[in-house]
A and B are shown apart, each in its own frame.
Chain A
Amino acid sequence: MSSALSAPEISRALIRISHEILEANPDSSKITLLGIPTRGAHLAYRIGGHMCEFAGHEIPVGTLDITLHRDDLRLRPPRAIMPTSIPNEGIEGREVVLIDDVLFSGRTIRAALDALGEIGRPRRVQLAVLVDRGHRELPLRADFVGKNIPTAITQSVKLHLTEIDSIDEVLVED
Chain B
Amino acid sequence: MRHLLSIADLSKPEAISILDTAVELARVSDGAVKKLPTLRGRTIVNLFAEDSTRTRISFEAAAKRLSADVINFSAKGSSLSKGESLKDTALTLQAMGADAVIIRHSSSGAPQRLADSSWMQGSVINAGDGTHEHPSQALLDAFTIRKHLGKGSSDLQGIKVAIVGDVLHSRVARSNVLLLNLLGAKVTLVAPPTLLPVGVESWPVAVSYNFDEVVASVDVVMMLRVQQERMSDLFFPNAREYSRYFGLNSERLALMKPSSIVMHPGPMNRGLEISADVADSARSVIVEQVANGVSVRMAILYVLLAGQPLEVGGN
Contact = CB atoms under 8 A, between A and B. Distances in A.
A70 to B, nearest CB: 8
A118 B307 contact: no
Nearest to B298: A68
Contact of B307 (A68, A74, A82, A119): A74
B205 to A, nearest CB: 31
B24 A114 contact: no
Interface in B7-49: 17, 20-21, 24-25, 27, 31-33, 35-38
A86 to B, nearest CB: 9
Contacts, number: 48
B246 interface: no
Given A81-B25, A118-B31, A120-B32, A73 B306 contact: yes
Contact of B308 (A69, A75, A118): A75
B314 to A, nearest CB: 12
Contacts of B31: 118-119
A18 B102 CA distance: 50
Contacts of B306: 73-74, 78-79
Contacts of B27: 84
Given A80-B21, A81-B25, A68 B308 contact: no
A118 B25 contact: no
Contact of A77 (B32, B302, B310): B310
A144 B265 CA distance: 52
Interface in A70-121: 73-84, 114, 118-120
Interface string B287-308: 0000000000000001100111
Contacts of B21: 80-81
Contacts of A79: 306-307
Contacts of B66: 68
Nearest to B310: A77
Contacts of B35: 118
Contact of B38 (A73, A119, A120): A73
A52 B24 CA distance: 29
A65 interface: yes
A18 B36 CA distance: 32
Given A81-B21, A84-B24, A84-B27, A76 B307 contact: yes
Contacts of A114: 37
A73 B38 CA distance: 8
A68 B310 contact: no
Contacts of A77: 307-308, 310
Contacts of A83: 24
A82 B27 CA distance: 12
Nearest to A115: B36
B19 to A, nearest CB: 12
A99 to B, nearest CB: 20
Per CB-CB distance, the 9 closest pairs between chain A and chain B, nearest first, are: A78-B307, A81-B24, A77-B307, A68-B38, A118-B33, A68-B36, A73-B306, A78-B306, A81-B21
16 contacts: A69-B37, A73-B306, A76-B307, A77-B310, A78-B306, A79-B306, A79-B307, A80-B20, A80-B21, A81-B20, A81-B24, A81-B302, A118-B35, A119-B31, A119-B32, A120-B32
Interface of A: 65, 68-69, 73-84, 114, 118-120
Interface of B: 17, 20-21, 24-25, 27, 31-33, 35-38, 66, 302-303, 306-308, 310
